[in-house]
């Protein structure tokens, strides 16, 4: 079982570290094997931190030593595997429930925000639900679905949190009109070269339930972008 093998490796690392913490912390890395050994230790530590909110090192090492000595073993192999498997399944279920709860909250907050926003001065709403404000009209070409564009943009969540900004990076972005989220694809084709618009993008025209894992955009988040269309290619 992969989990049990992983935990055995972690146990060994913890055992060595607990028995000789000073030596481990001061031993230099000189050879290729030293580097590999140290890198594995780093990787195991990261996995432990990511997998457990709380961890009893003493019981962990006790279980390891009991198996090595074949004495005082508190759990049989089948029970031990079941305990570990159940723990991780429960953790996954709790995390999934939390994501679903947060996602539903984001969805409701986005709907309320857009409902209020659509009545504000200058806000226009398309048939798809995309909302936008014309900050500055352009005089150049309009992009089509086959166009490539050069833009500056500044993206925030409805609470003002900045999640991405070519303006802050000081470097415009270039991409195809259909290579972005639906709200952008639609909104860009409303603009003319030189224009600057503000988009209010409903979650269903953004990333919906599947934003980039680990990123600042959460499931069902409504997004806001200031977009300046610099060039149509």
User: What are the residue ranges spanned by the domains of the chain?
Assistant: 2-74, 108-232
CA–CA distance, 147 with 131 (Å, rounded to integer)? 22
Give the active site residue among 111, 158, 163, 226: 163
Tens of pLDDT, residues 3-35: 555 555 555 555 555 544 444 456 788 898 888
Q: Is the pLDDT of residue 170 over 60?
A: yes
153: annotated active-site residue: yes
- pLDDT recorded at residue 75: 85
Secondary structure class of 143 (helix, strand, coil): coil
Give the active site residue among 60, 153, 199, 220: 153
Residue 146 contacts by C-beta under 8 Å, 6 or more apart in sequence?
176, 177, 178
- pLDDT recorded at residue 64: 67
Report the run of H or E that residue 113 belongs to, with start and end: helix 77-117
Contact 199, 171 (CB under 8 A): no
pTM of the model: 0.66
Phi, psi of 193 (to 5 degrees): -55, 130
Q: Which two tokens stand for residue 93?
A: 């279920």
> What is the pLDDT averaged over residues 140-167?
97
CA–CA distance, 180 with 161 (Å, rounded to integer)? 20
Give the active site residue among 6, 111, 181, 226: 181
Residues linked to residue 155 through DSSP beta bridges, in sequence order:
164, 225
163: annotated active-site residue: yes
What percent of the chain clears pLDDT 70, i.e. is strictly above it?
Answer: 85
224: annotated active-site residue: no
Give the active site residue among 57, 102, 158, 164: 164
Secondary structure class of 224 (helix, strand, coil): strand
Phi, psi of 209 (to 5 degrees): -85, -5
How many other β-carbons are positioned within 10 Å of the β-carbon of residue 49? 10
Q: Answer yes or no: CATH 3.10.50.40 is held by domain 108-232.
A: yes
Q: Which two tokens stand for residue 169?
A: 């990076």
- pLDDT recorded at residue 222: 98
132: annotated active-site residue: no
- pLDDT recorded at residue 8: 52
Q: How confident is the model at residue 109 (pLDDT cuts 50, 70, 90)?
A: very high
Tens of pLDDT, residues 180-214: 999 999 999 999 999 999 999 999 999 999 999 88
Give the active site residue among 207, 217, 220, 224: 207
181: annotated active-site residue: yes
What are the E-state strand segments in the chain?
124-125, 131-136, 148-157, 162-165, 173-176, 196-201, 223-232
60: annotated active-site residue: no
> What is the pLDDT averaged over residues 85-90?
86
């Amino acid at each position: 079982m992969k989990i049990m093998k992983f935990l055995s490796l972690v146990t060994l690392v913890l055992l060595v570290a607990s028995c000789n913490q000073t030596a481990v912390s001061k031993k230099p890395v000189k050879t290729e094997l030293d580097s590999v050994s140290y890198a594995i230790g780093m990787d195991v530590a990261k996995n432990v931190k990511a997998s457990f909110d709380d961890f009893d090192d003493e019981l962990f090492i006790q279980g390891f030593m009991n198996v090595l000595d074949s004495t005082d073993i508190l759990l049989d192999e089948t029970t031990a595997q079941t305990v570990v498997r159940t723990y991780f399944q429960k953790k996954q279920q709790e995390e999934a429930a939390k994501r679903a709860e947060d996602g539903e909250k984001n969805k409701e907050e986005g709907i309320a925000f857009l409902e209020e926003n659509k009545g504000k001065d200058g806000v226009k709403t398309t048939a798809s639900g995309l909302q936008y404000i014309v900050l500055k009209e352009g005089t150049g070409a309009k992009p089509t679905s086959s166009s490539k564009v050069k833009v500056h943009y500044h993206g925030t969540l409805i609470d003002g949190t900045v999640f991405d900004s070519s303006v802050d990076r000081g470097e415009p972005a270039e991409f195809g009109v259909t290579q972005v989220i639906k709200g952008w694809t639609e909104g860009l084709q409303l603009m003319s070269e030189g224009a600057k618009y503000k988009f209010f993008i409903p979650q269903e025209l953004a990333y919906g339930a599947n934003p980039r894992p680990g990123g600042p955009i959460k499931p069902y988040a409504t997004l806001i972008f200031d977009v300046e269309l610099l060039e149509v290619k």
